[in-house]
Structure 1
Amino acid sequence: MSTLSTAEILDLDLPDWRPVGGALRTRFVTKGFTAGMELLRAITPLAEEANHHPDVTLTWPHVDIALVTHDAGGLTGKDVDLARAISAVAAEQGVPADPSVVQVLEVALDTGDHEAIEPFWSAVLTGAPDNVTDHEVIDPTGQLPGLWLQASESAGEGSEKQPAMRFHLDVYVPHDQAKARVEAAVAAGGRVTQTRFEPSWTVLEDTHGNTACVCTDLPHG
């Protein structure tokens, strides 16, 4: 099954959903645990019929849902169809969606030799040295954010130069919320240090030089 690009997803009529962090995500504001359970009860037959099961987080005030076709390695028509069906059920129950608040946190570690340290970080975070995909340590239990081993700009692969071993945070937000998030960070004392990869990500620093990136699922220019 072919995957859909972020641009293709955004061209579809999916007002309740946003592509964030490699998945189609939303939050339904239930304002109560019982209402959340009722929504999930109504969604379950849809997922079973489609043989396509979303990741769901139920809390007292809301239900978070993420859709991705794992065996295709991205978003597909199956995700779009189920998203529309879920939105229809939520509308019938009078449960509004608020996709503007969805976000995903990824931790990044700059290194000059990611392959040398990937097994260590995988073992520390997951208990096994081989839970790594495309230089990202992924917790198979789904409890920890991903750790991306990022090639450092200050030391290339195999370089004798001491690599920059620096952690920073990548915060994935909806594409239509990124500008506001960057502006909020700047207003709080930060500064933008790099924009050449926008709209995919913007690099910021706090007053002590600590780095963070506000990211979207859009490709960079």
Structure 2
Amino acid sequence: MENLTNQQIIDARLDDWRKLAQALHARFLTDDFVTGLRFVTVVAEAAEAAGHHPDVTLTYPLVDLKLISHDVGSITQRDVDLARQISEIAREQGISAEPTAVTQFELALDTADLADVGPFWAAVLTGSVDALTADEVRDATGRVPSLWFQGTEAHEIPRQRFHVDLWVPHDVADERIAAAVAAGGRVVDDEQAPSFVVLADPEGNKVCVCTILDR
């Protein structure tokens, strides 16, 4: 299957869904557990028929879904097709979506030696060095956020170089940044906007607010 570009995904006009770092995400407001379970059951039947399965989180008031073609590690047409089918199921059941509420939280660690530190973080976060793939530690069960490694110059121990990446829908990034600034933060670097904007809290702790635009 052909990997779809970010622009192709936007042009697909999946109104209920947003692409964040790697996958398509959606949130459906079911209001109660029984409605959510009924919705998830029909989604599961559709996914089984399609031979393609979303990640599903069912809680009392809502259902979160994530779609990605795991065999290629990207979004393909089958994800788009299943996303449309899931949205249609929601409409048939009178369930509304809240696409601007989806987010993805990642940790990043600057390092000059991925081969040296990567296995440690894979082992401590997931219990297995096998969770390290390329430049990222990813827990397939979703217990911990993804940790990715950004190449940098060598530095002396114990200097620590963690930063937070917060992926938000591209159409709410400006609103989220404005809210953070109004709450006492400041913009540190917006040269790469709308791809990402670096913010800092009043004590200087930084976060990158990321979108799929211009990537």
| Pairwise same-fold verdict (TM > 0.5) | yes
**Structure 1 length normalisation: TM-score?**
0.92
Q: Name 2:182's counterpart in structure 1.
A: 187
Pick from 161, 166, 186: which aligns with 1:166?
A: 161
Residue correspondence of structure 1 range 56-95 to structure 2 within 5 A: 56-95=56-95
Structure 1 contact 111–165 (Cα < 8 Å) conserved: no
How far apart, in 2, do the equivalents of 1:130 and 1:33 lie?
A: 35
Q: Which amino acid aligns with 2:30?
A: T
Following superposition, the deviation at residue 21 of structure 1 comes to: 2.2
Q: Name 2:151's counterpart in structure 1.
A: 151
**Structure 2 length normalisation: TM-score?**
0.95
Following superposition, the deviation at residue 187 of structure 1 comes to: 0.9
Q: Which amino acid aligns with 1:214?
A: V
How far apart, in 2, do the equivalents of 1:140 and 1:51 lie?
A: 19
Q: Which amino acid aligns with 2:156?
A: Q
Residues 145-170 of structure 1: per-residue CA shift (max 9 Å, x gap): 01112223xxx2xx4x4375222211
Q: Name 1:204's counterpart in structure 2.
A: 199
Asked whether 1:10 is paired with 2:6, we answer no
Q: Which amino acid aligns with 2:12?
A: L
Residues 116-150 of structure 1: per-residue CA shift (max 9 Å, x gap): 21111111111122321231111132211011122
Following superposition, the deviation at residue 111 of structure 1 comes to: 2.2
Following superposition, the deviation at residue 6 of structure 1 comes to: 1.1
How far apart, in 2, do the equivalents of 1:199 and 1:189 lie?
A: 21
Asked whether 1:111 is paired with 2:106, we answer no
How far apart, in 2, do the equivalents of 1:54 and 1:219 lie?
A: 26
What is the DSSP-based 3-state SS (H/G/I as helix, E as strand, rest coil) of the residue aligned with 1:71? coil
What is the DSSP-based 3-state SS (H/G/I as helix, E as strand, rest coil) of the residue aligned with 1:110? strand
How far apart, in 1, do the equivalents of 2:94 and 2:31 lie?
A: 11
Following superposition, the deviation at residue 209 of structure 1 comes to: 1.3
Determine what percentage of the aligned residue pairs are the same residue.
Answer: 49
Q: Which amino acid aligns with 1:207?
A: P
How far apart, in 1, do the equivalents of 2:41 and 2:180 lie?
A: 39
Following superposition, the deviation at residue 13 of structure 1 comes to: 2.5
Asked whether 1:178 is paired with 2:173, we answer yes
Following superposition, the deviation at residue 196 of structure 1 comes to: 2.0
Structure 1 contact 105–169 (Cα < 8 Å) conserved: yes
How far apart, in 2, do the equivalents of 1:151 and 1:183 lie?
A: 30
Count of aligned pairs between the two proteins: 214
How far apart, in 2, do the equivalents of 1:196 and 1:12 lie?
A: 28
Following superposition, the deviation at residue 206 of structure 1 comes to: 1.1
Q: List structure 1 segments (4+ residues) > 3 angstroms apart after TM superposition.
A: none
Structure 1 contact 173–214 (Cα < 8 Å) conserved: yes
How far apart, in 2, do the equivalents of 1:111 and 1:186 lie?
A: 29
What is the DSSP-based 3-state SS (H/G/I as helix, E as strand, rest coil) of the residue aligned with 1:179? helix
What is the DSSP-based 3-state SS (H/G/I as helix, E as strand, rest coil) of the residue aligned with 1:109? strand
| Residues 218, 133 of structure 1: alpha-carbon distance in 2 compared, 3 angstrom cutoff | farther
